[in-house]
Amino acid sequence: MTRDLCSLSLTAMRDLLASGEITAVSAVKACLARIEATQPAIRAILHLAAEPALAEAARLDAAGPDPEKRLWGVPVLVKDAICTKGLPTTCGSKILENFVPFYDATAVAGLTAAGAVILGKTNMDEFAMGSSTENSAYQTTANPWDTTKVPGGSSGGSAAAVSAGQCFGALGTDTGGSIRQPASFCGIVGLKPTYGRVSRYGLVAYGSSLDQIGPMTRTVDDCAAMLTAISGHDPRDSTSDPRETPDYEAALAAFARDGRLRGLRLGLPEEYWGQGVDDEVRTCCRGAVDAARELGAEVVPVSLPHTPYAVATYYIVAMAEASSNLARFDGVRYGYRDPSATDLAGLYELSRAKGFGPEVQRRIVIGTYVLSAGYYDAYYRKAAQVRRLIRQDFLSAFESCDVICGPTSPFPAFGIGEKTGDPLQMYLSDIFTISLNLAGLPGMSIPVGLGEKSGLPVGLQLFGPAFGEERLLTTAKAVMDAVRPPMAPGGI
C-alpha cells in the first residue's frame, strides 16, 4: 500500500488529500516508510526531518484541506543548497556541516505557503559543482534505475528521490544543467525557469548570473503545480523579474482540452543531433520528435553556431563567479573553523583546505586565475563576449521556431566512478545544457523512453524564449502523453 501511494503523481496525491481520502499525516508516513526502504540503496537524502514533517502534517489535518493551497499536505524534498529554517543547509560540504539557517528561501516559503510539507534535504555535489552527485562530502547517491549508475548532478539527490518515490516533488538548482541532466538520467521531469522567474533569495550562490531554482517531478502537471507555487517577484532578490506570474496549471488545463501541437514550430539544432550522441539516445529523442510531428508540429532546422564554445565559456564564467561567491567561507564568520590555526592567514588556509573538497578547490583556483589582473582580458572578458553571442544564437533561432529541442545528455547515466578521474570528461557531460544558463532562458527535460541496450532513461530537452514556460509545459505534456515513457524503476 505504501509503495502504491508513493507511486502516485503529485497532482493525484493532492486530489486524494483534498477529498479527505488520505490525510496529510498518512501521506507523510507513506513517504517516510518508502524512504526507510530505499535510502540504503540510493542514499538520496542528507537530512531527514521526520518529526517536523509529521507535526506540520498533523497541523494541516487539524485545520482541514484548504482549496486555496494547491500543494496542501503534499510531502516534498528540497536540495541542500536552498535555505530551510531550522533544518541544516550544508550544500553537501564539510565547511557548512553545522549550518542551520534561521530563515526559509523564498522558493521554500512558496511551497509551504501552498501547503506542502517539507520532508528534508537532498544530497548534492558540493556547492552544486559536479554532474554526478559523487562530489558530496557525505555520500554518493545512486540511480534508482540501476544503483551502479550515477543519478546525474548536481541535483542528483532530488532526482533520485523523486524517481524512487520518496516524495512527490523536489526542488533542485540549475547552474549549467543541474536540474535537467539528473532529470534525464533518472527518468523524471525537470524544469529550469527563465533567469529571474524564481527568486534566488536563500539559495547558496555558486554562479550568481547562472543559478536558478526549479521543480523536479514525475509529470508535467506536477511540474506546473510546483512552478506556480515558487514563481513570482521578490523584492529581496535584485535579479527577480517583476512581471506577473501566470497560472501554469491553468494553462495546462486549457491545453488539455485539445492536446495537439498544431501551429507549433519545433526547431532541431544541428549541433545537438550530430556526432557524439549515443545511438539509443538519438533513437528515443527522434521518436519523441516524430510524435510531436504527428500531433501537428512543424519540424524546422535551426542552428546554434556558437555551441562548440559553450563548455569553455561556461566554465570560465561559472568558476570566476564561484571563486568570488565562496570567498565568504573563510572560517571567520560561520562555517568550519580549523582549531589548529595560529594566525589569520593560517585560519583561512586551513579552514578552506579542510572544509572544501577537491572539486570545489579546483574551481576556486581556476576562477581566481581567470579573474587575475594578467589574465582577465584573455579569459573572463572573452568569455563574457562569447556568452553574448551564444544568447544571440538562441534569439535568432526563435525567429523561425517556437520551441527548440534536442537530447538533454549525449548519453544515458554512466557508472559510479567512471568519470571521476577525468574532470574534463565530467565537464563535457553538460555540453547540451550549459548554453541555456548562459543565455538565461527556460528549459526542461522530459523522459521519452528507455535505451534499448542500457535499459536506462533518456531525456528530451526543450528550450523556450524568455518567460516562455507555458509553451514549454504544453509542448512537454503533449509529447509525454504521446510517447508514454516508463515512469517507475523496477529494482527499487
For the segment 368-391, what is each residue's pLDDT rounded down to a tens digit? 999 998 899 999 999 999 999 999
Residue 455 covered by a domain: no
Q: How far apart are CA 123 and CA 129, in angstroms?
A: 12
With 70 as the cut, is the pLDDT of residue 37 above it? yes
d(CA 345, CA 328): 14
State which amino acid sits at residue 327: A
Answer whether residue 382 is part of any domain.
Answer: no
Residue 407 lies in a domain: no
Structure confidence at residue 43 (pLDDT)? 98
The CATH number of the domain where 139 resides is what?
3.90.1300.10
Catalytic status, residue 132: no
Q: Is residue 181 part of a domain?
A: yes
One of 93, 178, 240, 351 is an active-site residue; which one? 178
pLDDT at 143: 98
Q: Which helix (H) or strand (E) holds 170?
A: strand 170-174
* Within a domain: 272: no
Residue 204 counted as domain residue: yes
**Low-confidence winner among 92-96, 125-129, 260-264, 297-301 (lowest mean pLDDT):** 260-264
pLDDT digits (tens, 9 = 90+) for 192-246: 999 999 999 999 999 999 999 999 999 999 999 999 999 999 999 999 999 999 9
Q: Which of 136, 154, 351, 454 is catalytic?
A: 154
Residue 166 lies in a domain: yes
Number of structural domains in the chain = 1
Under the banding of pLDDT at 50, 70 and 90, the label for residue 324 is very high
Query: What pLDDT sits at residue 428?
Result: 85
DSSP 226-261: HHHHHBS--TT-TT---SPPP-HHHHHHHHHTT---
Kindly tell me if the per-residue pLDDT of 452 is higher than 70.
Answer: yes
Q: Please check whether residue 405 lies inside any domain of the structure.
A: no
pLDDT of residue 56: 98
Contact between 123 and 44 under an 8 Å Cβ cutoff? The reply is yes
Q: In what order do the strands lie in the sheet with 45-48?
A: 45-48, 117-122, 75-79, 170-174, 212-217, 189-192, 443-450, 457-463, 403-407, 265-269, 298-302
Strand ranges inside 241-348, DSSP E: 265-269, 298-302
**What is the pLDDT, as a whole number, of residue 491?**
62
3-state helix, strand, coil in the chain (%, to 5): 45, 15, 40
Domain hosting residue 89, numbered range: 2-258
Nearest to 241 by CA among 192, 194, 195, 196: 196
Identify the band that residue 424 occupies on the pLDDT scale cut at 50, 70 and 90: confident
Computed over every residue of the chain, the mean pLDDT equals 96
The question of whether 178 is a catalytic residue gets the answer yes
